[in-house]
Structures are given as structure tokens and as C-alpha cells.
Amino acid sequence: MTDRPTLTATGLARRYGRDAGVHGVDLRLVPGQVTALLGPSGSGKSTLLRLIAGLERPDAGEIRLGETLLSRPGHMVAPEHRGIGLMFQEHALFPHKTVLGNVTFGLKHMPRAEARDRALTLLRSLKLEDRAKAWPSTLSGGEQQRVALARALAREPAVLLMDEPFSGLDASLRAQVRDALTPALRAAGAAVLIVTHDAEDALAMADHLVLLDQGKVLQAGTPEDCYLRPVSLAAAHMLGPVEALPARADGQTVTTPLGRFAKPDGEATDWQLLVRSGDVRLADQGVTATVVARRFAGHTNAVTVEIAGPDGDQRLTVSHAGPIPAEGQSVSLVLDADRAVVVAA
């Protein structure tokens, strides 16, 4: 495997009338790493992907692959000359070609035997070697997904762009295919960008995570950093349910319904404590609360409690693995300081 360049986007913007598809986006895709671009519908994810692929022209900023300029206003390298592979939601396998024929389709510049060997190696890595002679119509959705990936990787692109790659799969198959593809993506050595609206996919696959909303990057970092240390309520919401409790600044600390915690740097006057249901636990001692609802939720139970505070009563749902307390029962809550996330309101 040859060394592959890093793709860098700087100050990237694309506008549609009054609406900005993306503006001021910086992005870095590193060879051998999987980057997940996560955001809701209309956040600008697909626009950013199309800009990188060369399917749209930027209104500002630039895109480089190593030292090679791919895009800037007035300069545009055609998509087929970028060394970038694309894998869209629709796998678009050729129905009249076998699995092997689909994977070797883009390798016509190579000797036939060499193209066949490369394709079979990819199919073997994706556990599809025994389906090499099969027709696409006989494949399951997960198998079609893996064939599409093998075809995209066959030409050894410097960058691979994947647009909502698991959107057509049910939940159980989605996890199986995702777990099968992830090691193959890293082993391929390309810089991979997965565009998704699914937080579970992003957290499970990504080495680097970019949270995008309304055309702007809210936060970027490792999945752990983005999940455990969100920079805002909006960023936290992208990675799963979260509740915001009022926090009053008092010197270098904030007072919240769950206790006092360190105040981040910043000049904000209003603060919030962000809490996920698994971060708070029922304990023998802690902040007193009253159970107002309870619900069996499989291996854990969802317990909704009400906490009295200076800003009024606050409700919070806690995941609890032990016996379910009765409604109206008084319980004690604890939030460890290392799981307390305080952000500007």
C-alpha cells in the first residue's frame, strides 16, 4: 500500500440563495482513519460531501488533496480526476454483471488476472469470496452493501466518501454490516468520510467525529470527547437524549439541582448542566428526589424523579438496574464530578 495524501478543506462555503448549504467549514480527512460527519436532515452534510467529490463548486474556501488544489472559486478538478471514491445510499450494482464483474468494473486499466486477484482479495476481506459468481439480484441487502464497498475500494482511492451507507438496512442487519465493514475500511488505508444522521453508526465506526448543524461545525473530535464533553446542548443532542438543568454561577463553581460543580472558562451569565440518563445513579446518600414515574426498559429501568430547587422543581429520567422504586418514594441521586458537563445556556 502506498502512502496516501490527507484531504484538507479550509473555510469551505456553498450558498443557495438566502440559505447557506455550508459556510466556514474546516475539515481534515486522514489516510487510514474513518471520519463520521453527523447531523440532522438539512444540516449541510450532503452539500459538503458533494463539494469534496467535485459535484458542486464552492463559493468560498478551498479543498486540497495533499498539495494538489482540487477546488476553490474559479478552479475545479473534475470528479473523475480527484482520486476520490463514492458510495451512495443506492448501491447501484450492475445487474447484468456478477459480483466479481462488479468489483473489477473499474479496473479495466489493469491486466485481467491482476484485477481479478485484487477483487477476490477484497471480497475475501469482506467475507464474500463464495459469492463471487453470484448475481446482484440473489444477494441480501447486507451483501449488496459489501459488494458496493469492495467496488469502491478496488481502485484504491485516496479518499472514500460514503453517503448514509446503512440507511436501507434494518437494525440487526445494520449492526452486522457495520461491524464487518469497519475493519475493512481501516485496512484499506484510504481517508474515509461517512455521512450519517445516525449517532450509533457514528460512535461505533468513527476515529474522528464532526457534528454539523445549519451548515456549521458545532464540534469536532474523538467520539469519546464529543459524547462525554459536548460544547453545547445542541451538540449533546446529536449523540443521544440529554436533559438540561439550570446552573447558577458562583465564583469558580456552579450550583445545580444535583450539586456544585466546576464552572468552565467563559463570560456567559447563564449556564446549564447537561445530564444523560446513564450518568446519574440512585445511591444511599446524595441529592433527595421523589419518584414520579417508572418504566421497565429491558436490562435497565427508566425512573423519572422530581428534584426541588431554587429555580423550581426539575424532572429527570434516570437509568436504574436495581429494583424499581415505587412512585412517591424518596430516593437519593448522585452525579459524579467527572460526568458533569456544564455549558453556556
Last residue of a domain, one of 228, 249, 268: 228
Distance (Å, whole) CA 5 – CA 197: 27
- Give CA–CA dist 162/149, Å, rounded: 9
Same domain, 195 and 293: no
Residue 184 sits in the same domain as residue 250: no
Whether residue 290 is found in the same domain as residue 217: no
Q: Which residues of the chain have pLDDT under 70?
A: 1-2, 18-20, 89-91, 310
Q: Which of 207, 228, 249 is the last residue of a domain?
A: 228
pLDDT at site 19: 67
Nearest by Cα to 207 from 329, 42, 36: 36
Is the separation of the CB atoms in 103 and 147 below 8 Å?
A: yes
- Please state, in angstroms and rounded to a whole number, the distance separating the CA atoms of residues 208 and 224: 9
Closest among 7, 51, 25 to 220, alpha carbons compared: 25
What domain range includes position 261?
241-344
Q: CA-based angle 125:129:133, to the nearest 5?
A: 145
Q: pLDDT value at position 269?
A: 82
- Residue among 11, 4, 76, 23 at smallest CA distance from 214: 23
- Is 222 found in the same domain as 250? no
What CATH number is associated with residue 78? 3.40.50.300
Pair (245, 219) in one structural domain: no
Residue the block writes with cell 478543506 = 9
Q: Any idea what the CATH number is for the domain that residue 307 is in?
A: 2.40.50.140
Per-residue pLDDT tens for 245-300?
Answer: 999 988 889 999 999 999 888 888 889 999 998 899 999 899 999 999 999 888 88
